[in-house]
Amino acid sequence: MPEDTILEARAELKYARISARKVKIVADLIRGKKADEALAIVKYTPKASSEIVEKLLKSAIANAENNHNMDRTKLVISQIYANQGPTLRRIRPAAKGSAVRIRKRTSHVTIVLRESN
């Protein structure tokens, strides 16, 4: 393997039943941080998406250790992003026989880890 190749480990969660806007709040907190520091931040962040991001981060760390033989202490979150997934549309009855659309949003979350030098 050439030395200029940068190893990266990734974990993806697709169709998470939470809006991408809510996930981006937590993602912005941990972007660029070391993996262990990011885990500590996410664990004590009182947001709806922090549980989802924590589980995904643990998965990315496990992928890095087991699949790519990377050192856990050197791992850094190089990329984390949440894109909008398909929206589930539901109908709720409203006044005067009309109906209101409820949009249940989903998101696709991706975490990419790299080893720092």
Domains for the chain: give ranges and CATH numbers. 8-115 (3.90.470.10)
Evaluate if residue 98 carries a pLDDT over 70.
Answer: yes
- Which pTM value belongs to this model? 0.88
User: Which residue blocks in the chain are alpha helix, DSSP H?
Assistant: 20-30, 35-43, 50-68
End-to-end, the C-alpha distance of the chain in Å comes to 18
Mean pLDDT of 93-108: 97
The predicted pLDDT at position 2 comes to 58
Cα radius of gyration rounded to whole Å, the chain:
18
Kindly tell me if the per-residue pLDDT of 49 is higher than 80. Answer: yes
What average pLDDT does this structure show over 58-66?
A: 95
| pLDDT confidence band for 15 (50 / 70 / 90) | very high
Neighbour-count burial of 117, counting CB atoms closer than 10 A to its CB (0-12 exposed, 13-18 middle, 19+ buried): exposed
